[in-house]
Structure 1
Amino acid sequence: MVNQLERSATSIGANIREANYAHGKADFIAKLQIALKECYETEYWIEIFVKSDILGREAARELYTLCGTIRRMLISSIDTAKEPKA
């Protein structure tokens, strides 16, 4: 489980970094969407850790907050990127 959490959490940043070097708008959006999926997966693993008593609720709350902030930024970035050019 630790490996899965580690992989999903680090994948968020890796995909955001890849988006910076995307081959066009569609690739940029796709990379951010992958990062968003990994953010949701990371939240899932945090939930499992709490349910398994591996992680305390207070520590989990802080991680959820951080994931939520990243998630909202990704959603906003994706929405903006999808807007037609003026």
Structure 2
Amino acid sequence: MTRQLRRASASIGYNIAEGCGRHTDADFARFLQIAMGSASEVEYELWLAKDLGYLSVASHDRLAEQAIEVRKMLRAFIDRLRHRS
């Protein structure tokens, strides 16, 4: 579970970086959408870790709040790219 959480977390940044190398806003937005999917995966894995007793409620709440904030930032970035195009 730890490995999967780390993989999903790293995937967020990887997809943002890969999208930066694209030539159009539409391509970049597509990679940001993929990053958003990874952020949602992280959020689910945090819930699962809490439910299975691997993560305290306090730790879950703090980390889930950060994951939600990342998703909000990605959503705002995607919307801005799409309105700019």
TM score, norm. by length of structure 2: 0.93
Could you tell me which residue of structure 1 aligns to residue 63 of structure 2? 63
Q: Hey, which bits of structure 1, 4+ residues long, moved more than 2 A?
A: none
1:36 aligned onto 2:36: yes
Aligned residue in 1 for 2:26:
26
Q: Which amino acid aligns with 1:72?
A: K
User: Structure 2: where are the runs of 5+ without partners?
Assistant: none
Whether 1:8 and 2:14 are equivalent positions in the alignment is no
* RMSD, aligned α-carbons: 1.1
Question: 1:53 maps to what in 2?
Answer: 53
In the alignment, structure 1 residue 17 sits paired with structure 2 residue 17: yes
Q: CA separation in 1, counterparts of 2:84 and 2:25?
A: 11
TM-score (norm 1): 0.92
Kindly provide the CA deviation profile for residues 22-67 of structure 1, in whole angstroms up to 9, marking residues without a partner as x: 1312210111000000000000000000000001010111111111
Q: Which runs of 5+ in 1 are unaligned?
A: none
More helix by share: 2
Identity among equivalent positions (%) equals 33
